[in-house]
């Protein structure tokens, strides 16, 4: 069977995450859709907690805060903190050698 009826819990979650506006397919000719931004859904309770954190923090909106945190996390995941490439390590060795220190 390709589909089944939702149980009560699934129905509740679906209601909770229902968009406030009627859903429509994105129109690729619409300038707003061509923007380099996408919509990501997060649980509403988490959103409320983010709102509390953002209030008075200097961030203009929960979206700004979430983008900031995600960028920070992605930067860390990409190894931008304290990790050096082999090229950088070789460059240091070359410099020390040129100075006669190695």
Contacting residues toward another protein, per CB under 8 A? 58-60, 63-65, 67-68, 71-72, 75, 78, 80-84, 88-89, 92-93, 95-96, 98-99, 101-102
Nearer to another protein, 49 or 76 (CB): 76
Nearer to another protein, 51 or 63 (CB): 63
Evaluated on CA atoms 73, 78, 83, 88, the torsion sign reads negative
- Find the shortest distance in angstroms from Cβ 55 to another protein: 13
- Find the shortest distance in angstroms from Cβ 63 to another protein: 8
Task: Write 13-17 long-range contacts (CB < 8 A, 24+).
Answer: 16/43, 16/44, 17/41, 17/43, 17/44
Say if residues 65 and 59 touch (Cβ distance below 8 Å): yes
């Amino acid at each position: 069977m390709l589909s089944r009826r939702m149980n009560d819990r699934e129905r509740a979650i679906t209601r909770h995450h229902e968009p406030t506006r009627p859903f429509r397919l994105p129109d690729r000719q619409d300038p707003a859709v061509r923007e380099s931004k996408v919509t990501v859904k997060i649980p509403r309770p988490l959103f409320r907690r983010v709102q509390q954190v953002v209030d008075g923090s200097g961030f203009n909106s929960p979206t700004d805060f979430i983008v900031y945190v995600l960028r920070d996390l992605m930067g860390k995941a990409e190894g931008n903190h304290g990790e050096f490439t082999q090229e950088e390590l070789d460059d240091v060795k070359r410099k020390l050698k040129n100075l006669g220190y190695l």
